[in-house]
Amino acid sequence: MIIDPVTLIVALITVSTPVLLAAIGELVVEKAGVLNLGVEGMMIMGAVCGFITAHHTGSPALAFVAGMAGAVALALVFAVLTQILMANQVASGLALTLFGLGLAALLGVGYSGLPVPAIARPFPEALRDIPGLGPIVFSHSILVYVSIALVAAVWIVLTRTRIGLVLRAVGENHDAAHALGYKVVRIRIAAIMFGGACAGLGGAFLSVVRVQNWIEGMTAGAGWIALALVVFASWKPWRVLLGAWLFGGIAALQLRLQAAEIGVPVALLDASPYLVTIIVLVLISSDRRRAALNAPAGLGRVFHASS
């Protein structure tokens, strides 16, 4: 039996969307020079807040807003710790993940298995029924299109606008940016909040659209994959999209290969995204000049105005 490429592509786009959303947010955060390892925690907060809201209000739009809000609230904790109290970013980020997982579990008690509203698809049935093209292009939930638009928007803002230039300046050399009069801390807090909103949206997509259920620990490491994806993409927005589809594609493909009873070593396929990430890391770090071009120079460093 041969694998149907149309359903494979449809599945890979769905599979990759939560990770794509979280990764594009984290990319902006890291471009501003902040390493937030709390993506997993923010995603699961987005998942639980989105699910609870979807259940009570019956409105997917409100659910997505609530998912973002929940994750932004958590991101703000991180922002206060690292930008105002100048705590270590790695430790704070890890703590944020643990805190988010616990808080989400607490908030979600009793919500497992409750119904949520069906998500309307933006394109009419007629378009969706076009053979081949219809399912691939027109069959998705609105958030899938939003996530791709977001990649384009982030790319435009980072590379073509003044705001993007300032953000990158803050990420490359916060002392220089500060000397020029830019509010380093405020810009970084804004970036962290944006990253939180994206992670929350990704989490809400997971619980409200993809699984349509709240289950404790349901992100199951998606946040960590998002972090790997940013490195894989060497901090470039379109490569995040490519990487997300590649990772999602491998996940969707390996399940279909199994269902088609084609004998491939599943463990190897499962590990391949991580192998590819390692290879990319080796490649980008082999050329020091290129690595320096990509990774924000101020990533993870604490900014103190008087230093």
Q: For other proteins, give the closer residue by CB, 7 or 59.
A: 7
Nearer to other proteins, 29 or 218 (CB): 218
Q: Return the number of the residue (124 or 265) whose C-beta is nearest other proteins.
A: 265
CB of 96 to other proteins, least distance (A): 18
- Give burial (CB, 10 Å; 0-12/13-18/19+) of 161: exposed
Burial 36-60 (b: 16+ CB within 10 A, else e): bbbbbbbbbbbbbbbbbbbbeeeeb
Cβ of residue 239: shortest distance to other proteins, in angstroms?
A: 23
- To the nearest whole angstrom, how small is the minimum distance from the Cβ of residue 256 to other proteins? 5
CB nearer to other proteins: pick between 38 and 296: 38
- Between 242 and 253, name the residue whose CB sits nearer to other proteins: 253
Binding residues (CB under 8 A) for other proteins: these are: 1, 3-4, 7-8, 11, 15, 18, 105, 108-109, 112-113, 206, 210-213, 215-220, 222, 251-252, 255-256, 258-261, 263, 265-267, 270
**Distance between CA atoms of residues 48 and 291, nearest Å:** 37
Q: Strand locations in the chain, DSSP E?
A: none
Diameter of the chain by CA atoms? 67
| Cβ–Cβ < 8 Å for 43, 184 | no
> Which among 34, 32, 31, 75 has a CA at the least distance from the CA of 193?
75
Smallest gap from residue 73 Cβ to other proteins (A): 22
Q: Smallest distance, Å, CB 219 to other proteins?
A: 8
SS3 108: coil
Q: Residue 35 and residue 90: Cα distance in Å, rounded? A: 7
Cα separation, 120 vs 307, in Å, equals: 53
User: Are residues 43 and 243 in contact, defined by beta-carbon separation less than 8 angstroms?
Assistant: no
Q: In the bound complex, what is the minimum distance in angstroms from residue 260's beta carbon to other proteins?
A: 6
CB nearer to other proteins: pick between 18 and 46: 18
